[in-house]
Structure 1
């Protein structure tokens, strides 16, 4: 499982970092860490449809305790674990070679068919306007529209895609392994959204070619937005970036 592999890498990088704050909530679960170079905030989107009557097995919260449970079958533990790994990643990430662009700007005219994993209306609209043939997959029925396909069809249709733009929530629901297996023909595989704050080298050996995420540049503003349950409030403290996976 992919999450088990990045867990081992993240645990090594967590040495010397202190857990400052955390919260499991909507719209994002967050973990705040501090080290000698300052603070870093990591988030993971909370998926209400994945949450059942779970109880968290962490009795003494710590950064490493959260990371250890990122590959748990318990969705609460998995979400907190990914937020913790993202916090560690954001503390260590080097964005000197990052592109400060929107995700859709990566696609060129040679790409004809794009698979979108997770119905993301702004991205769908932008790609429609550019004339791409789209497959839009979504697991949550509440987010379906007349052009949305069930995620059950990903296994069948992904091999046809020249490019894949996947919501980084595929890390939370554990489907990246399957996407990696079925999207072998994609020349571009972009992991997008705040949940994709991973270090790029964590994705070595996968078909992911780029990550489009958000760097929290104003931690206090972003935290206030998260505590108030506001997407827009959180995003006001961030800056979008795109990095290549080496």
Structure 2
């Protein structure tokens, strides 16, 4: 389910609801700067106090959780502090000085900082090419910061995005995520941050950093007197949750009817006793990508048994006559939500060198963003590796233009990363019987030449 349908706050409340049925709040303290919720088992959570109308606060933990969805900012603060109390044992204690030690920020990056991270700004500036700060608090905002309404315009071009946990409290996080799909690195940090696996799920954030209260007695006294997190130094611990690894898949496009090649499915054409599909699957697996999805359409009943034999997943595109884009969309919609990037591989490029797949994959591991395409003799080839931030754009592309038009639209921009490779196979597809015969003749000639040596 997309973020536009179910908000992140709903997901986290659902994940805690069953446990919350058996707990109550021992104490709720709404302070000038922070709100503190202490559960009946001693767990405690804090959240920045947002201004709003004060009203009756329930004691049942499940009802307190629901307050996180309230349009009243103050009640939302109470609800989010309750969430943080339930999550207070999540994450690992962070022994370092600053979370920036865990951030993937590079010297070429344009970094967005959303919210009050004043101590962190100079550290980010020392590492990045450009830093953009968004802040609406008039006590902190300056001529060097941008207001919230500029986020939609500027965030899509950022390589890294750092946001405070208050974005979760005020429910702006879902929009921020939608505007930063192409960012290589995203982090949510600060005392109000819920250290929940839901935050890192589906590639939302790569790093989550929150705060654990270690002395509730001191915390109560400080927060009652109007103090903040800095006044609790020595009585809290920073906790972090790091997204462990990137997930890649490959989509092999094999839905065409093969009308120009004698009606034989291209996936079942052979080279040296191996089918095109078998050759392609093996090269992808050798590069280190094991999650492979084959999109079939025409002659699906002939190709599906081979997919089972090769132990790869398959999905049928019933609308294969609509063209390649329909198969790409079918494949994308069949992928798990937490995929970070895909190899997009037409099955009729069997001569792509194995090392080409490896080179593209290594480039993506280094960049962790964008669209990566091989180039041979100055022309883009196959396969391409596409980061998840571009999936929606491909799905909404005009049918006639297809995914290739989306890729070409980024030529000359940092989104499209080109790798110059000595691999003519990236440009050699097999569309007709004549091309297939030429390919077989070429291989026979190569075999004769190698035997003479």
TM-score w.r.t. length of structure 2: 0.49
Superposition deviation, residue 65 in structure 1: 1.3
- In 1, Cα distance between the equivalents of 2:177 and 2:117? 20
Structure scoring higher RCO (CA < 8 A, sep ≥ 6) equals 1
Task: Name the residue aligned to 1:64.
Answer: 62
Task: Name the residue aligned to 1:14.
Answer: 20
Superposition deviation, residue 126 in structure 1: 1.4
Q: Which moved more, 1:197-206 or 1:175-184?
A: 197-206
Counterpart of 1:103 (choices 99, 102, 117) is 99
Over the aligned positions, Cα root-mean-square deviation in angstroms equals: 2.0
- In 2, Cα distance between the equivalents of 1:219 and 1:130? 37
- C-alpha contact (below 8 Å) 1:42/1:197 kept by paired residues: no
1:187-198 superposed matches below 5 A: 187-198=184-195
Superposition deviation, residue 94 in structure 1: 4.8
- In 1, Cα distance between the equivalents of 2:77 and 2:163? 17
Gapped runs of 5+ residues in structure 2?
A: 1-6, 245-453
- In 1, Cα distance between the equivalents of 2:226 and 2:64? 22
- C-alpha contact (below 8 Å) 1:221/1:236 kept by paired residues: no
| Match status 1:243 vs 2:241 | yes
| Match status 1:40 vs 2:43 | yes
Q: Secondary structure at the match of 2:119?
A: helix
- C-alpha contact (below 8 Å) 2:31/2:225 kept by paired residues: no
1:1-246 superposed matches below 5 A: 1-35=7-41, 39-48=42-51, 51=52, 54-56=53-55, 58=57, 60-90=58-88, 92-95=89-92, 99-101=94-96, 102-105=98-101, 106-109=103-106, 112-205=109-202, 207-231=204-228, 232-245=230-243
Q: Secondary structure at the match of 1:185?
A: coil
Q: Secondary structure at the match of 1:143?
A: coil
- In 2, Cα distance between the equivalents of 1:230 and 1:25? 8
- In 1, Cα distance between the equivalents of 2:148 and 2:163? 12
- In 1, Cα distance between the equivalents of 2:166 and 2:126? 25
Superposition deviation, residue 202 in structure 1: 4.9
Aligned length: 235
* Stretches (4+) displaced over 6 A: none
Superposition deviation, residue 238 in structure 1: 0.8
Query: CA separation of 1:14/1:217 partners in 2, compared to 1, >3 Å: closer, same or farther?
Result: same
Query: CA separation of 1:241/1:30 partners in 2, compared to 1, >3 Å: closer, same or farther?
Result: same
- C-alpha contact (below 8 Å) 1:189/1:207 kept by paired residues: yes
